[in-house]
């Protein structure tokens, strides 16, 4: 799996129990970083030609760019908290800033018991914008806590190439599954 700092949604310093985002209050909290798909000068990567717009990274190439959103420190709450994650995009407002974010995709609502270290919350390819929505220049994640204030918990998230995926295991995806061995030899 290839992790790139230019494609990291979450904070790389501070935040809760370590690096990452720590949404804890009821309501919506945007990820620490907004990804600029036009790429600013000074990043070491060439800016797109004038009038070309932003890169469309959700075009489904093989291999496709994928979302990796995982819990790095378990969430806890005193009263049955829930969390969902939204992928949002925004076009340029004409001055190099977001115009207004629109939700492209939202995960199911996860109960706090599911939000254990290693849980992967949004395993999917980067989607194209929904019909009738402008191609985005900016992407961000939005964390929605509907019930129960969280007391602790940390999430890290990227757009990655060649995400490490294995067979889903049971009802929590924090455990790498795989098929059971056909023959087990004791040492």
Q: What is the pLDDT of residues 81-128, one digit of tens each?
A: 899 999 999 988 888 889 999 999 999 999 988 898 888 899 888 888
Q: How crowded is residue 171: how many other Cβ atoms within 10 Å of its Cβ?
A: 7
Output the six-digit token pair for 2. Answer: 């290839």
13 φ, ψ to 5°?
-140, 145
Burial 91-115 (b: 16+ CB within 10 A, else e): bbeeeeebeebbebeebeebebebb
Output the six-digit token pair for 28. Answer: 């919506």
pLDDT 10s digits, 145-159: 988 888 888 999 999
Question: What burial class does residue 4 get, using C-beta atoms within 10 Å of its C-beta: 0-12 exposed, 13-18 middle, 19+ buried?
Answer: exposed
pLDDT exceeding 90 applies to what percent of the chain?
Answer: 24
β pairing state of 124-125 and 27-30: unpaired
> Cβ(158)–Cβ(5) under 8 Å?
no
The confidence score (pLDDT) of residue 45 equals 52
pLDDT 10s digits, 48-80: 555 555 666 766 677 788 899 999 999 988 677
The confidence score (pLDDT) of residue 62 equals 72
pLDDT 10s digits, 31-43: 999 988 876 555 5
Q: Domains plus CATH for the chain?
A: 5-161 (2.60.120.1110)
> Cβ(46)–Cβ(39) under 8 Å?
yes
pLDDT at 185 over 80: no
Count the alpha carbons within 13 Å of 37 in the hemisphere toward its beta carbon: 20
The confidence score (pLDDT) of residue 17 equals 41
> What is the model's pTM?
0.80
């Amino acid at each position: 799996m290839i992790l790139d700092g230019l494609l990291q949604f979450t904070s790389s310093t501070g935040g809760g129990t370590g690096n990452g985002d720590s949404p804890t209050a009821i309501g919506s909290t945007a990820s620490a970083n907004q990804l600029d798909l036009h790429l600013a000068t000074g990043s070491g990567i060439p800016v797109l030609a004038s009038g070309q717009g932003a890169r469309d990274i959700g075009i489904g190439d093989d291999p496709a760019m994928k979302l990796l959103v995982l819990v790095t420190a378990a969430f806890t709450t005193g009263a049955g908290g829930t969390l969902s994650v939204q992928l949002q995009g925004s076009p340029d407002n004409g001055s190099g800033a977001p115009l207004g974010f629109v939700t492209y995709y939202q995960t199911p609502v996860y109960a706090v018991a599911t939000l254990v270290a290693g849980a992967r919350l949004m395993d999917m390819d980067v989607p194209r914008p929904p019909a009738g929505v402008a191609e985005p220049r900016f992407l961000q994640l939005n964390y929605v806590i509907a019930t129960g204030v969280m007391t602790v918990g940390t999430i890290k998230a990227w757009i990655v190439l060649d995400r490490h995926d294995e067979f889903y295991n049971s009802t929590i995806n924090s455990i790498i599954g795989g098929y059971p061995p056909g023959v087990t030899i004791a040492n």
